[in-house]
Amino acid sequence: MNFKFNKTFPFLVPFGVLQTSKVFFSITLFIIFICIDKYINGIEIINTLLCFFGIFSLLSLTAHIFGLQHNLSDKTDVFCYIPLALLDFFIGVLAAFIYSIGFILFFISLPELYEYSTKLFFKYFFGGINCLLLMITYGFYSFKLYLKSPNQKTIGIKSIIVEA
């Protein structure tokens, strides 16, 4: 197997920074969910999907750092690679949609929470802002992958090797 360690990937613009911010904001929203003691309006489904999207983002960032999107075979006639860009694109579109629903659910709950508890109000407020940031990050990352694809077709995304 052929690994190419790229320790600068998390700091490369735009893809590295977007991947790193997806992981950072996922961890931040997860911490906010740990602090929330009362769930309103079905927010717990966002928490469940957050675990999936956060773990996938962390695995994807790790795979990009170790260069798993390149040809992993040592032989010249064998081509073996993981289509990370295609997975990132489809999961990014799904995550942007889910986090937009989460953003709406968080902010629909705010007027009710203002009367109930100020501390819970601020937790939901920051959770909504974090969902908005995650929605923008996942959506923009998928959009950048789409723009980078050959002839800007979705099927061409599988051949992209994300460098920076």
> Would you call 139 exposed, middle or buried from its count of C-beta atoms within 10 A (0-12, 13-18, 19+)?
middle
For tokens 């927010």, name the residue: 43
Domain count, the chain: 1
The pLDDT tens digits of the residues spanning 73-128 come to 566 665 667 788 899 999 999 999 999 999 999 999 888 888 888 888 999 999 99
Q: Is residue 4 part of a domain?
A: no
Cα distance between residue 5 and residue 20, in whole Å: 16
pLDDT at 80: 65
Q: Is residue 37 part of a domain?
A: yes
Supply angle C-alpha 81, 154, 57, rounded to 5: 55
pLDDT at 97: 98
Average pLDDT across the chain, whole number: 88
Q: Is residue 164 part of a domain?
A: no
pLDDT greater at residue 18 or residue 6: 18
In this model, does residue 71 exceed pLDDT 90? no
Q: Is residue 93 part of a domain?
A: yes
Q: Is residue 78 part of a domain?
A: no
For the four alpha carbons of 13, 53, 68 and 143, in that order, the dihedral sign comes to negative
Structural domain of 112: 12-67+84-159
Confidence of residue 53 (pLDDT cuts 50, 70, 90): very high
If we measure between CA atoms, which residue out of 109, 158, 125, 131 comes closest to residue 53?
A: 131
pLDDT at 40: 77
> What percent of the chain has a predicted confidence (pLDDT) above 70?
90
Q: Is residue 96 part of a domain?
A: yes
pLDDT at 2: 62
